[in-house]
């Protein structure tokens, strides 16, 4: 699905009402009962059954596990959306829901496995082996094509639009008139898309580590300057004594070996995802590599490789490909673009970028990052366009870590501009997924916002 979220001031009336598509899907709901898994014994579980193709009553169905925590009898409800695309929901409840102690008596908190995640995750063994838990690792053409062949024609039914319709089916099944929606990382993207399509159903919108619904460039050049800022910020911290300017060292390394750009983009991003404190390793490794000694850089890459070993049930790369390659615009256009012209159009787009736009990275990074490459290889598939969605009037709180490189601060600033009247809270030295990472002041801010 090509992304044409123009953020106009009016909504499509059919989308606000839920539209005929969601009703045509004829979802089924089991109701709630104590969860069977011992580790989830403190919660209630159910299952929402939806059709893969929401426009075809003969389509096969998908069973989406649902979990409810907090106070099941509470008058307020919050939908909690995890990230990815590819991350499950209910199995993460013990870790995620401890972030909401402040509202556990006032809200029932709902999590679900979005289509293509969890126990029934889209599983593409070669692509999963190559990319694991990484968003930016560059895959092989063979692995991407094998995944597309495994999914077949079904791969056109894993766009964010499909997930948004599933959320609305879940709201109806739970008999909730209005609810709060809270998203982390990619979950902020689905949360915004839901709020835009069903604005009257959303009381509060919390966006933690925000992915903007507009102004995303597959070349990622709008994020490159954030790497220079964050690395320099790490070195400026009290007690730090970096051997040089890490941004200049990064630029020097990719100048010496341009092909390293995409790998460095991924490695530094992953270090920040796992633990912002681990970014302390990067300046030393970059400085040594700029001077000709790549030993520490190889150690850094090896560490990231270990972090990236993740099964599809925890982070589905099949879903990542199916969703991102449908949702995002690329230099060649959207998912319906002919494969034979994609490389030429991508090359042309990158050739127009200036060195200043790409610094401290390079053209190889813009052209060859993992998302760009994966979707260049993804076979042509039917997409659908979404126009005229608005977030005007939505009651929104944005949370962002100053050192988050997975979803850089510039994205949160862009998203705030798209939600007039929203509040952006930036946490100094903070990383990714602030609510779950345990920042007490962040949790207090979210509690106060949700109880208003």
User: Is the distance from CB of 221 to CB of 358 less than 8 angstroms?
Assistant: yes
Per-residue model confidence (pLDDT) at position 139: 97
Same domain, 203 and 226: no
Place of tokens 């695309």: 85
Identify whether the C-beta of residue 321 lies closer than 8 Å to the C-beta of residue 148.
Answer: yes
> For residue 278, what pLDDT is reported?
66
Residue 349 clears pLDDT 50, i.e. is over it: yes
**Within-domain flag for 335:** no
Answer whether residue 7 is part of any domain.
no
C-alpha distances in angstroms, 105 versus 100, 101, 108? Answer: 10, 8, 8
pLDDT at 25: 54
> Between 427 and 22, whose confidence is greater?
427
pLDDT at residue 23 greater than cutoff 50? no
Position 384 confidence tier, pLDDT thresholds 50, 70, 90? low
Q: At what angle do helices 141-151 and 317-327 cross, to 10 degrees?
A: 90
Structure tokens given for 175: 């008999």
DSSP 309: -
* Judgement on whether residues 251 and 130 belong to the same structural domain of the protein: no
In this structure, the number of other CB atoms found within 10 A of the CB of residue 359 comes to 18
Query: Do 175 and 231 reside in the same domain of the chain?
Result: no
Which ranges in 291-389 belong to alpha helices (H)? 295-307, 317-327, 342-351, 355-358, 363-368, 370-377
Residue 352 has pLDDT above 60, yes or no: yes
Q: What is the pLDDT of residue 385?
A: 63
Chosen domain end from 307, 337, 354: 307
Are residues 225 and 212 both part of a single domain?
A: no
Residue 443 CA to residue 271 CA, distance in Å, equals 24
> Global pTM?
0.91
pLDDT class of 3 with cuts at 50, 70, 90: very low
Between residues 237 and 86, the one the model is more confident about: 86
* 134 and 241 part of one domain: no
Quick one: pLDDT at residue 115?
97
Average pLDDT on 291-307 reads 91
**Residue 17: band (very low, low, confident or very high) from pLDDT cuts 50, 70, 90:** very low
One domain, residues 24 and 109: yes
Domain assignment present for 322: no
- Co-location of 50 and 169 in the same domain: yes
Local confidence band at 276 (pLDDT 50, 70, 90 cut-offs): low
Which pLDDT tens digit goes with each residue over 238-256?
888 899 999 999 999 999 9
The last residue of a domain, from among 277, 307, 337: 307
Per-residue pLDDT for 308 more than 80?
no
- Give the model's confidence band at 1: pLDDT under 50 very low, under 70 low, under 90 confident, else very high: very low
Q: What is the mean pLDDT of residues 371-377?
A: 96
Give the other-Cβ count within 10 Å of 237's Cβ: 10
**Where residue 19 falls among pLDDT bands split at 50, 70, 90?**
very low
Last residue of a domain, one of 283, 307, 331: 307
The rounded mean pLDDT for the chain is 90
What pLDDT is stored for residue 239 in this prediction?
81
> Are 167 and 239 in a shared domain?
no
Residue 69, phi then psi, degrees to nearest 5: -120, -165
pLDDT above 90 covers a percentage of the chain that reads 80
Would the pLDDT of 24 be above 70?
Answer: no
Higher-confidence residue: 78 or 55? 78
Q: Kindly state whether residues 153 and 236 are assigned to the same domain.
A: no
68 and 205: one domain? yes
Q: Is the pLDDT of residue 53 over 90?
A: yes
| Average pLDDT estimate for 314-341 | 94
Position 215 scores a pLDDT of 61
Q: Are both 252 and 204 inside the same structural domain?
A: no
For residue 115, being part of any structural domain is answered with yes
Give the model confidence (pLDDT) of 131-160 as tens digits: 999 999 999 999 999 999 999 999 999 999
Structurally, the chain folds into a number of domains equal to: 2
Q: Is residue 209 part of a domain?
A: yes
- pLDDT at 340 exceeding the cut of 90: yes
What local confidence, expressed as pLDDT, does residue 7 receive? 33
- Sequence-ordered list of residues with C-beta below 8 angstroms from that of 61, at least 6 positions apart, any chain: 28, 49, 50, 51, 52
Q: How confident is the model over 95-124, as pLDDT tens digits?
A: 999 999 999 999 999 999 999 999 999 999
Q: Is residue 42 part of a domain?
A: yes
Structure tokens at 29: 């709901």
Distance CA(114)–CA(111), nearest Å, equals 9
3 within some domain: no
For residues 363 and 255, the answer to whether their CB atoms sit within 8 Å is no
Residue with tokens 């970028």: 353
Going from the C-alpha of 305 to that of each of 159, 300, 319, 420, 439, the distances in angstroms are 28, 9, 21, 40, 28
Q: How much is the pLDDT for 280?
A: 72
180 in a structural domain:
yes
Q: Are residues 181 and 265 both part of a single domain?
A: no
Q: How far, CA to CA in Å, does 41 sit from each of 162, 219, 283?
A: 30, 45, 45
Q: How many CB atoms lie within 10 A of CB 268?
A: 25
CATH number of the domain enclosing 393: 3.40.50.1820
Domain around 149: 13-216+385-450
Q: What is the rounded CA–CA span in Å between residue 343 and residue 349? A: 10
């Amino acid at each position: 699905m090509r992304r044409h979220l123009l953020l106009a001031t009016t909504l499509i009336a059919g989308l606000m009402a839920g539209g005929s598509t969601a009703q045509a899907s004829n979802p089924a709901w089991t109701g709630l009962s104590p969860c069977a898994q011992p580790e989830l014994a403190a919660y209630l579980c159910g299952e929402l059954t939806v059709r893969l193709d929401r426009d075809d009553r003969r389509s096969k169905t998908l069973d989406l596990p649902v979990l409810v925590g907090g106070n099941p009898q509470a008058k307020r409800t919050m939908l909690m959306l995890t990230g990815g695309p590819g991350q499950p929901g209910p199995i993460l409840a013990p870790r995620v829901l401890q972030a909401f102690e402040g509202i556990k008596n006032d809200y029932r908190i709902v999590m679900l496995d979005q289509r293509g995640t969890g126990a029934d995750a889209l599983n593409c063994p070669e692509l999963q082996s190559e990319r694991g838990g990484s968003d930016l690792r560059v895959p092989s053409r063979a692995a991407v094509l094998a995944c597309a062949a495994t999914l077949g024609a079904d791969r056109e039914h894993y766009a964010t639009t499909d997930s948004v319709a599933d959320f609305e089916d879940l709201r109806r099944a739970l008999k909730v008139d209005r609810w709060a929606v809270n998203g982390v990382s990619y979950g902020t993207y689905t949360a915004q898309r839901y709020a835009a399509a069903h604005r009257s159903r959303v009381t509060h919108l919390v966006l933690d580590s925000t992915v903007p619904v507009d102004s995303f460039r597959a070349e990622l050049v709008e994020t490159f300057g954030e790497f220079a800022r964050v690395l320099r910020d790490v070195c400026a911290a009290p007690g730090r004594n970096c051997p040089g300017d890490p941004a200049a060292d990064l630029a020097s390394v990719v100048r010496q070996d341009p092909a390293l750009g995409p790998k460095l983009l991924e490695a530094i991003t992953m270090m920040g995802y796992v633990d912002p404190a681990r970014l302390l390793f990067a300046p030393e490794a970059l400085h040594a590599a700029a001077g000709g000694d790549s030993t520490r850089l190889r150690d850094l890459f090896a560490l990231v490789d270990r972090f990236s070993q993740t099964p599809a049930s925890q982070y589905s790369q099949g879903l990542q490909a199916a969703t991102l390659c449908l949702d995002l615009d690329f230099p060649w256009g959207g998912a319906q673009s002919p494969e034979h012209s994609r490389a030429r159009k991508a090359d042309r787009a990158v050739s127009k970028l200036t060195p200043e736009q790409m610094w401290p990275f390079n053209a190889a990074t813009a052209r060859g990052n993992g998302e760009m490459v994966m979707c260049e290889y993804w076979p042509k598939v039917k997409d659908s366009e979404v126009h005229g969605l608005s977030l005007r009037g939505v009651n929104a709180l944005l949370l962002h870590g100053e050192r988050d490189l997975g979803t850089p601060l510039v994205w949160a600033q862009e998203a705030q501009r798209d939600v007039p009247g929203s509040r952006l809270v930036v946490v100094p030295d903070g990383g990714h997924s602030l609510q779950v990472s345990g920042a007490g002041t962040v949790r207090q801010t979210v509690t106060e916002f949700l109880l208003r």
